[in-house]
Amino acid sequence: MSLSEKLRMLRDDRCWSQQYLADRMNVDRSTISRYETGKSIPTYQTVVRFAEVYQIEKELLVNELDQILPTVEKSGYILKENLDDKDLDIVIDLIKLFKNLYSIVSRRANKMRG
């Protein structure tokens, strides 16, 4: 069962409306709809919040999320941050400001490795 199907089933089992759940999650109703239809993938923190609201073990939902996220074969990181985080906005703005920053950092990292 997909994450979106599981989220819908959990809400339906409790006879909650999307609006009721959205109010408990402090998000827009349309956000709940997008998660339940699979049009959007919730962040890790949001999935943990769903588990808290539904009072279930977070692993039941996190495992589904892990299957959706791409597998990283090389060492690296997968962003599991809230996209509304102000610090993340600053980082994104810096990357946009310094478009060649990624290539500079990559070259320096490669020199340090080899």
C-beta atoms surrounding 60 within 10 Å: 14
Dihedral angle over CA of 56, 62, 65, 69, nearest 10: 170
Q: Which two tokens stand for residue 62?
A: 């996190």
Q: Among 13-27, 77-91, 99-113, whose mean pLDDT is lowest?
A: 77-91
Predicted local confidence at residue 102, as pLDDT: 66
Distance of CA 25 to the CA centre of its chain: 14
Domains of the chain: 3-68 (1.10.260.40), 84-114 (no CATH)
Per residue in 21-54, pLDDT (tens digit) is: 999 999 999 999 999 998 888 888 899 999 999 9
